[in-house]
């Protein structure tokens, strides 16, 4: 038993090191895409205008998200020497690492170190986080960190009976969450705080001066921002947009058929995003699950917080899985706890998990060497060496898996860490070599070369890839905005059908399924 415990720690330590390496390897390799460039553009415009209170997008007021994440991006750009890819993605990586540490720290204190370690690494290693959002400069994981930290403050300080710190920490962190993503944090407060205090028999604390102090902190932070915003533009417009954005995801806006579809698919999609660790559900679907959860207060808190908040998204047809990233760690804590007590169940459950997880690891070992035969990776120097190296490493994990007992979950985490490294060494360079984002970046490079220091605008209300706009901003050193009337010597970008002869077309390029022209008006 001692040998198994030591080997478990060795495997977890190796997985931790490889996951950390994978988080940073080739972080700035692929061009910004999806929502990444939009976040960067808004931060760039804030800095250029020296107005850090009213976000704009291409010169127009941007209402959908408050500015905290943009402030973080500006700070990262200052520290790292500019708005380059690495600086835009580093906050997400650090937020992911901080979430893992937070899950570990709470799990170590209230269960034990190995439980906390496994719970944290499972979050970092689940498919959607590991292979998608953890290497993108988007808002979701940063927001998830603030929300999860708020939950942890509520739990930890309630256990310590330090209720002033509990209210200040809980409300303060969710105030920062409100300045990051708006009204969802208010919902977290309204659902989580009364549910937990009622469960532990402290509901009267809701009527204490300490609770009022927490509300005062929230009011000061959020109200202070709204006051500054209102000095520049009407704050009621901003609040109306926040409320409207939240209502877009409700059944009132989406209709009943999308709701029915969402009710079926959303839990399944959530389990898919948690793969391979959602396989642990085989241990959680059992009689006496609630009594099992109540054996440990941290697991109880995680289950209760997940249970009161998940229905908000489950009943909202417009919700996406990434909105749950602050709740995913709580569900994984419950699943890890159920796995920890698998010995209480019939052996077939452990045998099923061992077989399915083992097949998954074996398929990785067999599938990763295909890297050497993929035509899109032919440009990679040493791709055969990469294929052999990762194939042998995963084969070693599979061999150890099938010959060992008691290391199934740590070895599954290790296999995901190796998968991330393989992803970093192949998919990220491929996207930098040939992808829609790379073509959008190439167009921005050519536009910058052609326009030099001439005034450049996006013509009227035409839309352009945010990737192209981001690289134009970076390369030219000033932000692209819209123009609604011709100016002398100015150059414009518009969809090709909007450019009529005899205007002088300097460059044509495609983005997605649209064609654009860079042109001058004829005089």
pLDDT at residue 186 greater than cutoff 70: yes
- The reply to whether 216 and 309 lie within a common domain is yes
pLDDT at residue 347 greater than cutoff 70: yes
In a domain, 19, yes or no: no
pLDDT at residue 251 greater than cutoff 70: no
pLDDT at residue 1 greater than cutoff 60: no
Give the total number of structural domains in the chain. 3
Domain boundary residue among 343, 377, 396? 343
- The reply to whether 271 and 230 lie within a common domain is yes
- The reply to whether 422 and 472 lie within a common domain is no
Residue 355: CB atoms within 10 A of its CB come to 10
- The reply to whether 300 and 355 lie within a common domain is no
pLDDT at residue 56 greater than cutoff 70: yes
In a domain, 145, yes or no: yes
In a domain, 496, yes or no: yes
At residue 323, the pLDDT reads 86
pLDDT at residue 30 greater than cutoff 80: yes
Domain boundary residue among 417, 433, 449? 433
pLDDT band at 316 (very low <50, low <70, confident <90, very high): confident
At residue 405, the pLDDT reads 87
At residue 196, the pLDDT reads 98
pLDDT band at 310 (very low <50, low <70, confident <90, very high): very high
- The reply to whether 353 and 334 lie within a common domain is no
pLDDT at residue 282 greater than cutoff 70: yes
At residue 364, the pLDDT reads 95
Residues 483/492, Cβ–Cβ less than 8 Å: yes
- Section 12-23 average pLDDT: 97
In a domain, 141, yes or no: yes
- DSSP SS3 for 482: strand
Share of the chain above pLDDT 70, in %: 97
- CA dist 359 and 279 (Å) reads 12
- The reply to whether 259 and 377 lie within a common domain is no
Burial environment of residue 485 by CB neighbours within 10 A (0 to 12, 13 to 18, 19 or more) = exposed
- DSSP SS3 for 402: helix
- The reply to whether 315 and 383 lie within a common domain is no
pLDDT band at 473 (very low <50, low <70, confident <90, very high): very high
In a domain, 25, yes or no: no
Domain extent at residue 147:
31-343
121-147 confidence digits (pLDDT tens) = 999 999 999 999 999 999 999 999 999
- The reply to whether 71 and 204 lie within a common domain is yes
pLDDT at residue 250 greater than cutoff 70: no
pLDDT at residue 72 greater than cutoff 60: yes
318-327 confidence digits (pLDDT tens) = 788 888 999 9
- CA dist 300 and 328 (Å) reads 15
In a domain, 22, yes or no: no
pLDDT at residue 32 greater than cutoff 80: yes
Task: Supply the DSSP string of 249-263, one letter for each residue.
Answer: TSHHHH-HHHHHHHH
- Section 28-32 average pLDDT: 95
- Section 185-202 average pLDDT: 97
At residue 249, the pLDDT reads 59
In a domain, 376, yes or no: yes
Domain boundary residue among 343, 371, 398? 343
492-509 confidence digits (pLDDT tens) = 999 998 887 778 899 999
- Section 429-453 average pLDDT: 94
At residue 330, the pLDDT reads 97
- Section 50-67 average pLDDT: 93
Give, in degrees to the nearest 5, the angle at Cα 409 between 407 and 411.
65
- The reply to whether 226 and 240 lie within a common domain is yes
At residue 130, the pLDDT reads 95
pLDDT at residue 79 greater than cutoff 90: yes
Residues 59/49, Cβ–Cβ less than 8 Å: no
pLDDT at residue 255 greater than cutoff 80: no
- The reply to whether 51 and 67 lie within a common domain is yes
Q: How many helices (H) and strands (E) does the chain have?
A: 22, 7
Give, in degrees to the nearest 5, the angle at Cα 421 between 417 and 427.
130
- Section 45-54 average pLDDT: 95
Residues 334/303, Cβ–Cβ less than 8 Å: yes
In a domain, 14, yes or no: no
Note the helical H segments in 341-496: 347-367, 383-403, 408-433, 436-451, 466-476
Give me the chain's average pLDDT, please: 93
At residue 253, the pLDDT reads 57
At residue 344, the pLDDT reads 92
At residue 318, the pLDDT reads 76
pLDDT band at 262 (very low <50, low <70, confident <90, very high): confident
Distances (CA, A) of 26 to 58, 413, 441: 29, 21, 17
pLDDT band at 240 (very low <50, low <70, confident <90, very high): confident
At residue 214, the pLDDT reads 98
- The reply to whether 421 and 446 lie within a common domain is no
- The reply to whether 421 and 485 lie within a common domain is no
At residue 273, the pLDDT reads 94
pLDDT at residue 59 greater than cutoff 80: yes
């Amino acid at each position: 038993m001692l040998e198994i415990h030591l080997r478990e720690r060795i495997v977890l330590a190796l997985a931790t090191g490889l996951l950390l390496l994978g988080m940073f390897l080739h972080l700035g390799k692929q061009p910004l895409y999806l929502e990444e460039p939009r976040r960067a553009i808004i931060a760039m415009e804030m800095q250029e205008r020296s107005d850090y209170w009213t976000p704009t997008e291409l010169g127009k007021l941007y209402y959908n998200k408050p500015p905290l994440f943009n402030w973080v991006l500006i700070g990262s750009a200052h520290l790292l020497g500019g708005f380059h890819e690495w600086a835009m993605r580093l906050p997400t990586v650090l937020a992911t690492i901080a979430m893992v540490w937070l899950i570990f720290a709470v799990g170590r204190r209230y269960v034990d170190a190995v439980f906390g370690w496994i719970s944290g690494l499972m979050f970092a290693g689940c498919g959607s986080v590991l292979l998608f959002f953890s290497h993108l400069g988007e808002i979701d994981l940063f927001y998830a960190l603030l929300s999860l930290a708020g939950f942890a403050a509520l739990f930890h300080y309630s256990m310590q009976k330090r209720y002033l710190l509990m209210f200040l920490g809980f409300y303060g962190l969710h105030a920062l969450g409100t300045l990051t993503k708006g009204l969802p944090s208010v919902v977290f407060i309204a659902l989580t705080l009364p549910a937990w205090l009622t469960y532990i028999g402290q509901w009267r604390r809701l009527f204490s001066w300490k609770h009022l102090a927490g509300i005062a902190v929230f009011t000061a932070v959020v109200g202070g921002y709204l006051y500054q915003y209102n000095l520049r533009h009407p704050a009621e417009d901003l609040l109306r947009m926040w409320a409207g954005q939240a209502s877009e995801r409700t059944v009132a806006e989406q209709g009943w058929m999308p709701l029915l579809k969402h009710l079926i698919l959303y839990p399944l999609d959530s389990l898919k995003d948690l793969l391979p660790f959602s396989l642990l559900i085989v241990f959680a679907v059992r009689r006496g699950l609630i009594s099992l959860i109540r054996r440990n207060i941290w697991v109880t808190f995680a289950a209760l917080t997940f249970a009161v908040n998940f229905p908000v998204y489950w009943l909202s047809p417009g919700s996406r899985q990434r909105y749950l990233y602050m709740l995913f760690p709580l569900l994984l804590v419950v699943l890890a706890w159920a796995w920890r007590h698998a010995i209480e169940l019939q052996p077939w459950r452990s045998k099923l998990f061992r077989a399915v997880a083992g097949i998954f690891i074996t398929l990785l070992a067999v599938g990763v060497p295909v890297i050497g035969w993929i035509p899109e990776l032919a440009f990679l120097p040493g791709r055969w060496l990469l294929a052999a190296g990762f194939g042998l490493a995963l084969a070693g994990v599979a061999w150890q898996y099938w010959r060992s007992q008691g290391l199934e979950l740590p070895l599954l985490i290790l296999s995901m860490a190796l998968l991330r490294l393989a992803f970093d060494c192949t998919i990220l360079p491929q996207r930098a070599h040939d992808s829609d984002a790379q073509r959008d970046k190439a167009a921005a490079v050519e536009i910058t070369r052609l326009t030099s220091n001439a005034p450049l605008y996006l013509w009227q209300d035409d839309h352009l890839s945010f990737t192209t706009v981001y690289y134009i901003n970076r390369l030219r050193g000033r932000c692209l905005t819209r123009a609604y009337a011709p100016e002398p010597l100015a150059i414009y970008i518009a969809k090709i059908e909007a450019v009529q002869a005899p205007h002088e077309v300097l460059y044509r390029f495609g983005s997605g399924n649209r064609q654009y022209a860079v042109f001058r008006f004829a005089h």
